[in-house]
Amino acid sequence: MTTYFDEPQSMNYRFGEDQDQVLKVLAERYIGANAQADFVYRVFQKSGILQNEKGLYDLNLSERFPDTQKGQLAYAAALVWGDEDRNLDVLIRCYGPVRFYFNEQLVYRSTVMDEINPDATVKLGIDIKPGWNTLLLEMRYTPAGFGCQFGSDEGKVRILNVLAPFQERQGQAGWVYSKPVSRDEALSFITSGGSHPDWNLRGMEQDHQLEWLPETEWPVEMKNKPTLQRLYGHLPGQRVYAWSRINNSDSTGSSIRLSGHSSGPLTIWLNGIPAVQLKEAGSFESEVHAPFGRSDLLVCSECSSDTAEPWQFTLNAAVNGKQLELELPRHVHGASGEKWMYVGPFEYDVEPDVKEMMRTDRVYTLSVSQDSNGEGSQHVHTKRTYWQLDQPDAWIRPYYENAMLSNKWTVGSVTNYGRWDYPLGVTVYGLLQTGRYLHRPDIIHYATEHVQACTRMYDYSLWDREQYGFPAVNQQLVMLKMLDNCGSFGSAMLEAYPECHEPTFLPIAERIADFMPSRLERQEDGAFYRECIGEFAENTMWADDLYMSTPFLVRYARLSGNTFALDEAARQFILYRKYLFMPEFKIMSHVYDFKYDQATRIPWGRGNGWTLFSLTEVLEALPEEHPDRPALIDFFNELCEGYAALQGKDGLWHQVLNDSETYQEASCTAMFAYGFARGVRFGWLQQPNRYIKASERAWNGLTCKAIDRQGNVHGVCSGSRYAFTAEYYDKDLLTVTNDNHGIGIMMLAGTEVAKMKEYLTRHTKTSTAVTHS
């Protein structure tokens, strides 16, 4: 095994057999490195460039500029922030001739075949550097098309967020794009060297000769209207809520004076307590108490039918004659100078709960209507919305902007908090079990809050996709297409449910439970597989997917009482054994490729680890009388026998299990230790003594070779594709320090080996007492 640190730096050297201390350091290092920073709020203009269902930004300029002349050009520009080095594959699908400049270097010029083939997709690797990176697309009109689609490969996994260039738009999300110009005009923007357009994308927009869209300023005729009239028009009987915050810097305890005017009925709440109520248009003035510091102001303004006055309200706050400043109640990037957030208009018969209004993790129902389909059934139509600003088509939009995956699944050192993906499902599970074992409610609380950060934004993220084509948060959960997107994290979510009884977990669980048995691709015999048409994994079955499916099904069955889910989990193991089991070694091939009607016969370590790990979860839940239980117990013993025979001298297993020339890998070692320890503790193993020693050797190897004294985890291979050769797994899948595929399973292995030892101690004491009696 590669040496990652000297012996004195190992966890074993520092703590020896003190397993509790090892678990404590593992959990605390992870929590310390992954701060609870969830989502970033930005201004986004819906009239700008939207994404399609694959996450590609659709710059179809023929639709936006139907009168473009032959030979005219247009440009699109954006910024990408890099927290650290990140290699990313981007895709370009051309509607016409395209040039792509990355960090002011021409990296792609379309070919004739790219331009005339509507299905052609070009993949480019770009190296995002720490700090600001620039994207610039030059697109030329032809009668065949104008523009392109652009975005990251596997956009729901490898997220590419773009921000608007220019100081005037600083902090706003999305591309800017120009109106078409002639070739002669475009030539004036090229540097003397002719290498790229000579623009400072972080400079002032007003210094550029092009006219950039979307517009950020209201046209003159709209500027002259009051805000509510400008945003919503004249809608008698309908209501809008406005949310702001006052900053009271007075420490004397004096009352705050609220005053202003309204064109119709008005209610004001200060920190949720009614402060002003007008039943009709007029002026108001009220003295209210507000604590020192920031207080929320919520206003409900109704459009009056009794006056010709435009829909509006004004509000001033003062203390001891000093005007108090208003500010946005949330930090919204790109909203400089804005004081209010607005949501509406609500129909007269829709009465939102005021207690729920001052939130950014939900969408609001504006109206509910019904119509008949002519066959006697009723269809309910619900119109919903979210917060917006007093700018043209400007909406507040939350974004996931924490750790971003590279092409190799690595995420670097930025916090993973708030992301829904399958490696983090194992991490959350590991934190939960470690917190329970150590009696550390703080660790449990952190894990549940990570899940809640995702689930509480679920309803919003569905709405976000409906509005913008592709969600800016919860990408994998919303764009649910395969087991990777839901099973692991969904299982961790249900594991966390008894700790918090979070209501937002339940609809997500139901959606996943519907997806797996009803919509997931299956072979004729019912086995789950990956259809993935047009992708590298097309028509394959992966051992990994036993973990991506069966632990969730087990927990869903426990929560819902749905025995079908548990039956399905057991059935999948029997089916997968038929395709992937290698009887001569008693281990599993990583993948079965239906295109060639054969298994790859490469027993990848972690793929086998997922198998054993998940089988223990099913066996723990399966009733003694279940008809599949004897076969699964036998399968478990077969696998354990095969794995034990391949354990290395240091207690670890190799990346390719039956190839001792490949490197020793930590995550599969942890999974085998986990599986063996549970097999001993639950009494499933026919020769338990062999596996007691094997699990202890594995844990000792991990603490000596893979976990350093700071709690960093080494020797975990990056996320995998698949191959028919061992060389791919050994040479291409390199190890990554603190890869999320390994951290959670280290904690789980540690807790299970510790529980096994406690079980053996109790069992020995009981046996001794019986003997003495």
* DSSP codes joined into one string, 60-91: EHHHH-TTPPTT-EEEEEEEEEESS-EEEEEE
What pLDDT, in 10s, does the model give residues 308-344?
A: 789 999 999 999 999 999 999 999 999 999 999 999 9
Mean pLDDT of 42-70: 96
Question: Burial of 628 by CB count in 10 Å (0-12 exposed, 13-18 middle, 19+ buried)?
Answer: middle
Claim to verify: residue 164 and residue 240 sit in the same structural domain? no
> CA–CA separation, 390 vs 216, rounded Å?
10
Claim to verify: residue 516 and residue 573 sit in the same structural domain? yes
Higher local confidence (pLDDT), 37 or 413 = 37
Claim to verify: residue 325 and residue 339 sit in the same structural domain? yes
User: Which of 391, 411, 442 delimits the end of a domain?
Assistant: 391
> CA–CA separation, 643 vs 725, rounded Å?
20
Claim to verify: residue 52 and residue 22 sit in the same structural domain? no
Is residue 500 situated within a structural domain? yes
Domain count, the chain: 3
Whether the pLDDT of residue 406 is over 90: the answer is no
Mean pLDDT of 351-366: 93
If residue 767 lies in a helix (H) or strand (E), which one and from where to where?
A: helix 740-772
pLDDT at 766 (0 to 100): 62
Whether the pLDDT of residue 194 is over 60: the answer is no
User: Which of 164, 188, 213 delimits the end of a domain?
Assistant: 213
> CA–CA separation, 610 vs 572, rounded Å?
14
Claim to verify: residue 491 and residue 620 sit in the same structural domain? yes
pLDDT at 251 (0 to 100): 87
pLDDT at 112 (0 to 100): 93
What pLDDT, in 10s, does the model give residues 547-565?
A: 999 999 999 999 999 999 9
pLDDT at 381 (0 to 100): 82
Is residue 301 situated within a structural domain? yes
pLDDT at 763 (0 to 100): 82
The secondary structure of 428-493, three-state, reads HHHHHHHHHHHCCHHHHHHHHHHHHHHHCCHHHHHHHHHHHCCCCCCHHHHCCCCHHHCHHHHHHH
CA nearest 289: which of 272, 270, 276? 270
CA nearest 402: which of 421, 387, 427? 421
Question: Which CATH number does the domain housing residue 148 bear?
Answer: 2.60.120
CA nearest 425: which of 543, 544, 559? 544
pLDDT at 378 (0 to 100): 66
How much is the pTM? Answer: 0.94
pLDDT at 537 (0 to 100): 92
Continuous H helices in 120-172: none
Claim to verify: residue 534 and residue 604 sit in the same structural domain? yes
> CA–CA separation, 123 vs 370, rounded Å?
46
Range 738-773 burial, b when 16+ CB lie within 10 A, else e: bbbbbbbbbbbbbbbbbbbbeeeeeeeeeeeeeeee
Claim to verify: residue 378 and residue 439 sit in the same structural domain? no
User: Do the beta carbons of residue 86 and residue 131 sit within 8 Å?
Assistant: no
Whether the pLDDT of residue 361 is over 70: the answer is yes
Claim to verify: residue 651 and residue 699 sit in the same structural domain? yes
Percentage, residues of the chain above pLDDT 70: 96
Whether the pLDDT of residue 606 is over 90: the answer is yes
What pLDDT, in 10s, does the model give residues 448-486?
A: 999 999 999 999 999 999 999 999 999 999 999 999 999
Whether the pLDDT of residue 1 is over 90: the answer is no
Q: What's the mean per-residue pLDDT of the chain?
A: 93
pLDDT at 188 (0 to 100): 73
User: Do the beta carbons of residue 137 and residue 76 sit within 8 Å?
Assistant: yes
Claim to verify: residue 13 and residue 95 sit in the same structural domain? no
Is residue 2 situated within a structural domain? no
pLDDT class for 186, splitting at 50, 70, 90?
Answer: confident
Is residue 323 situated within a structural domain? yes
CA nearest 136: which of 177, 173, 95? 177
CA angle, 43 as apex, 175 and 450 as ends, to 5°? Answer: 105
pLDDT class for 184, splitting at 50, 70, 90?
Answer: confident
pLDDT class for 767, splitting at 50, 70, 90?
Answer: low
Is residue 18 situated within a structural domain? yes
pLDDT at 78 (0 to 100): 98
| CA contacts within 13 A on the Cβ side of 203 | 7
CA nearest 542: which of 617, 598, 476, 593? 593
Higher local confidence (pLDDT), 199 or 237 = 237
Is residue 773 situated within a structural domain? no
Claim to verify: residue 115 and residue 156 sit in the same structural domain? yes
User: Do the beta carbons of residue 580 and residue 589 sit within 8 Å?
Assistant: yes
**Picking from 177-181, 302-306, 462-466, which range would have the lowest pLDDT averaged per residue?**
302-306
> CA–CA separation, 411 vs 427, rounded Å?
14
Is residue 1 situated within a structural domain? no
Claim to verify: residue 556 and residue 482 sit in the same structural domain? yes
pLDDT at 772 (0 to 100): 46
The secondary structure of 359-390, three-state, reads CCCCCEEEEEEEEECCCCCEEEEEEEECCECC
User: Which of 213, 232, 263 delimits the end of a domain?
Assistant: 213
Tell me the β-bridge partners of 248: 293
Mean pLDDT of 584-588: 98
Range of the domain at 382: 220-391
Claim to verify: residue 474 and residue 499 sit in the same structural domain? yes
Is residue 398 situated within a structural domain? no
Residue 554 tokens read as 């087990």
**Picking from 93-102, 176-185, 668-677, which range would have the lowest pLDDT averaged per residue?**
176-185
